[in-house]
Structure 1
Amino acid sequence: MDSDGLLCDAVEDLGREHLVPQQALMEYWPWARLRAEQEEQQLYAEIRRLPPEDYAKVRELLASHPVAERGVLWEKWGGLWGRFGFFEPVSSWPWCNAAGWCFPCPVCAWPMRAQPAGGGVFAVSCDVHLLEGAQYTCRQDRGGSGPPVLEGGGCSTGRVKGFPAAGDYLAVSRTVWRYLTLPGRMEFAIRDALADIAGLEVFMYPEGDRYDLRITAAAPLVAREWRVDAKAWRSFDALADALLERPVLGGAVPLIIVVPHRRRSDLPRLRVRLAGRPDLEVMTDKDLVAMVLRWCRAQP
C-alpha cells in the first residue's frame, strides 16, 4: 500500500501475472484482467492480422511513442490510426497529474506517477525504473505558465519535459505499456546496438512473430544464429510458468529469453525453474548484446 492507503502499481502487475482469486484484488480489478498471458496474447492477436511491414511499424510505434498529442500520433500512424484502441486520454488519469502536468519517464517514455507530498510538492516517479533514477520531486508553480521543473533523479538522459494533463494528449494503456512498450523498447535497443556490425543481420518478428528477433551471422563471419524473445514481466515465477506451458520451439537453436538488465539478480531463480527446458536460455538484454559482440570480435 502507498502512503495514501491505495494499492501500488506493482500489485496490479502481479495480480495480472498470477491467477490468484484474492477478494481484495477482485474489489479493484475484474477477474478478466488477472491473467497476464491471455492479455498479452490478445494484444498480439489484434495486430498479427496486419501485413508484416505494418505489424513491425505498429510494434515500433508503441515502443517509441507511448504518449503524444493526437495530431502527432495521427501523423506517425498514418492509415493505421484508429484501427486499434491502444491509447487513452491522459486527462482521465489523475494518478499522473502533477498540478496539471504529466511527465514521461526518461527510460520508457510513459507517464510517471505523481503523488502529492505536502506543501505543494509532488513526488514523481516510474516504479519500474526507480533503479535507473526515474524518481523526482517538483513544486507547484502557481504563477508560472509552463510545467514545474523536476528535481532529483539519477537518469543521464537530460531534462524531462512535461506536457499538459489535458487536451489531446494520449498514452497507451497500462496493459499495452507492460506487454508491448516495455519489451518493445528492449527489442529495438538490441536491434540498434547490433546495427552496422559487418556480417550481422537482425530480423524483427520472424516466422509470423513466433519470437521477437532473429540475429544471423554470415560472411565474413562464421554462420551463427540467435533467436530472441523479450519479456518485461514483474513476476519471474509467473513468467516461468508461462514459458513452461509453451511448446518446444524446435530446431537446434535455443530461444533466448531476455529480461531487463535491472532484473539480473533474479536470473538464477528463473534459470532453476527452466532447468528442464534446454530449448530455453535466459539472460539480460545487455548481456545478450555483449555476448554477440564478443562472438563477432572472436571471429578470424
Structure 2
Amino acid sequence: MTGSLAMPMGREAVVTACVQAANVWWSDGVPVGTKWRRVAELHGRVALAHLVSTGRVFPLVEFVDALGGSLSSLLPPSMREDCDAVDLLEDGGLSSAAADLLLENMSPSVTAADMAGWSWKSLSAEKVQGWLFRQLLVTGSQSGYVEARSTVIRNSAGPLVGINDAIKRAGLPRDGLYESIPAWAWTAKDGQKYWFGCPICGWPMRVQLDRMTCQYRPHADMLGWIAVVWQKSGTPQLGPFNRKKLPGIQVVRDRDCAAHPVEDHLCLVPAVWRYSTIPGLEECHLCEECNQIPGVHAALWPDLDSYDLSVAQPNGKTWRVDVKDYTDPGRLASVLSNKAVLRDPTFRIVVPDYRSRQVPLLNERLNEAFGTARRTYAMTSRQFLGMIRRSAAKGTDGAR
C-alpha cells in the first residue's frame, strides 16, 4: 500500500491505536465523555484498516466491547502476529504485555512537558532509550558509560540513600530515573507498608490478595505467583518459588528476597526498568558466561554502546552482538531491517531464551529484507553461547 493511506493503516499505527484505546477506556478518573471522544478518534484508524483490508465495516460499539479482550480480536487478520494473542486488560487496567506492545510500536509527538514529567505511557521505546543514552553519555568516557549503565541495571529499586549514592557516583541525575514505590506493590499489616523486589530483576512486584509476581511477563511466567508469608511478629517473607525454572537468565546474585519498607525507598520509572534493566540483565549474563570460556574475552557496550557486546575468540575472530528483548518480533524485524551493520557476517542479534519462538520469524524476515538465503541473523542466548564454546574449544585445541 502506498500514498496517504499507507501510514494510518500500517501495523505499527493500528496496534498503537488499539492499545491506546484500551489504555484510555480502562483509565480511572477520565470523564466518560472524554473516553468516548478519544476512543472514537482511535477507532477511526482501526476501522479504516479493516475496511481496506477486508471490506468489513467495524462499528464503534463492537470496537469498545472488544477492548477488554485480546489485541488480536481488534486487528484485521492480515496484520495479526502471534504476539497479539494477549489480553488488553489486567487487574482493571492495561496489561503489561499490551503496554510493551504500545511502547514498541508507538511513535508519538512528545512535548518538553511530557519529558519533564516523564509521562512514560506516552513515550515509545526508542524515545526512552534515546533519553537514557543521552544521560549516560554525560559521563564522558567509555569506563564512565559502563559504570553508569551498570548502575541502572544493578539498582532497579532500593533505599533512597543507597540509590542517591550510587547514581551520584555514576554521574547520573535522579530526576526522570526514579520514583516512589507505586501503591500496587504495597503489602501492609498493622499500618506498616512493605514491598518485595522481583528475584530476577529486583523491581517491585505487583501484589494481589497476598500473592505477588513480577510486572515483566516473562519473569512472571518463570516465577509464577509467590505467596506473602506473614509472621506473628517481624516483617513478611516471600514464600517458596522454583529457582530451577529460570533457564538462561539467572536469579540475580545475592538478591535480597526480604520485605522492604515503602517509606524512603525508590524504584526506576517503568520505561527505564523495561528498556534498560531488563535487556541489561541479559547483556551482563552473556558477558559473564562468555568470559568464563577459556580464551574468550567479552566486553560490554563498546564504543559508548555502539552495540551491546564484543566477544573475541582464541582464533582471532570477534563477534559483535546486539541483545534485543521485544514482545513484538514483527516490529523488531522492521527496526532491524534498516540496520546496514547486519550485513556484516560477524554481527549477531541475540534474544533471551524465553524469546526462542521469535528466532525463525526474525531470520526469515531479515533474509527477505537483505536479499539473502538461509543466513543466520538472530539466535537465542543459549545458541550463541553454544556457538562460542564450540568455536573456542577448536581454537584452543589448535593452539596446542
TM bin (shorter chain): 0.7 to 0.9
* 1:56–1:204 Cα contact (<8 Å) kept: yes
Partner of 1:138: 228
Task: Choose which of 293, 305, 310 in structure 2 pairs with 1:209.
Answer: 305
> Does residue 175 in structure 1 map to residue 266 in structure 2?
no
- The offset of 1:250, in angstroms, is 7.3
Partner of 1:110: 203
Task: Choose which of 187, 192, 204 in structure 1 pairs with 2:288.
Answer: 192
Cα distance in 1 for partners of 2:207, 2:166 equals 28
> Does residue 234 in structure 1 map to residue 327 in structure 2?
yes
Summarize the Cα distance change of 1:254–1:82 in structure 2 as closer, same or farther, 3 Å threshold.
closer
Summarize the Cα distance change of 1:274–1:199 in structure 2 as closer, same or farther, 3 Å threshold.
same
Cα distance in 1 for partners of 2:129, 2:257 equals 30
Partner of 1:153: 241
| Pairwise CA RMSD | 2.8
Percent of residue pairs identical: 25
**Structure with the higher strand share, 1 or 2:** 1
- State the one-letter code of the partner of 2:356: R
Which protein has the larger Cα radius of gyration, Structure 1 or Structure 2?
Answer: 2
Summarize the Cα distance change of 1:152–1:32 in structure 2 as closer, same or farther, 3 Å threshold.
closer
* 2:132–2:272 Cα contact (<8 Å) kept: yes
For the residue of structure 2 that corresponds to 1:207, the secondary structure is helix
Partner of 2:159: 69
Summarize the Cα distance change of 1:206–1:74 in structure 2 as closer, same or farther, 3 Å threshold.
same
- When structure 1 is superposed on structure 2, of 122-131 and 289-298 the one drifting more is 122-131
Cα distance in 2 for partners of 1:222, 1:140 equals 56
Number of corresponding residues: 281
- The offset of 1:40, in angstroms, is 1.8
Unaligned runs of 5+ in 1: 22-28
TM-score (norm. length: structure 2): 0.63
Q: Deviations over 1:48-90 (max 9, x none)?
A: 2322111100111111221111222234344335524311121
Cα distance in 1 for partners of 2:263, 2:119 equals 29
* 1:17–1:36 Cα contact (<8 Å) kept: yes
Summarize the Cα distance change of 1:197–1:260 in structure 2 as closer, same or farther, 3 Å threshold.
closer
- State the one-letter code of the partner of 2:166: K
Task: Choose which of 123, 130, 143 in structure 2 pairs with 1:41.
Answer: 130
> Does residue 256 in structure 1 map to residue 348 in structure 2?
yes
Task: Choose which of 59, 74, 85 in structure 1 pairs with 2:149.
Answer: 59
**Structure with the higher helix share, 1 or 2:** 2
Q: Which has the higher contact order (CA 8 A, sep 6+)?
A: 1
Summarize the Cα distance change of 1:180–1:252 in structure 2 as closer, same or farther, 3 Å threshold.
same
Task: Choose which of 359, 365, 382 in structure 2 pairs with 1:267.
Answer: 359
- The offset of 1:167, in angstroms, is 1.8
Unaligned runs of 5+ in 2: 1-87, 109-117, 245-250
- State the one-letter code of the partner of 2:186: N
- State the one-letter code of the partner of 1:213: L
Summarize the Cα distance change of 1:244–1:229 in structure 2 as closer, same or farther, 3 Å threshold.
same
Q: Deviations over 1:220-257 (max 9, x none)?
A: x32111000112222112211222233x1277444211
- State the one-letter code of the partner of 2:233: G
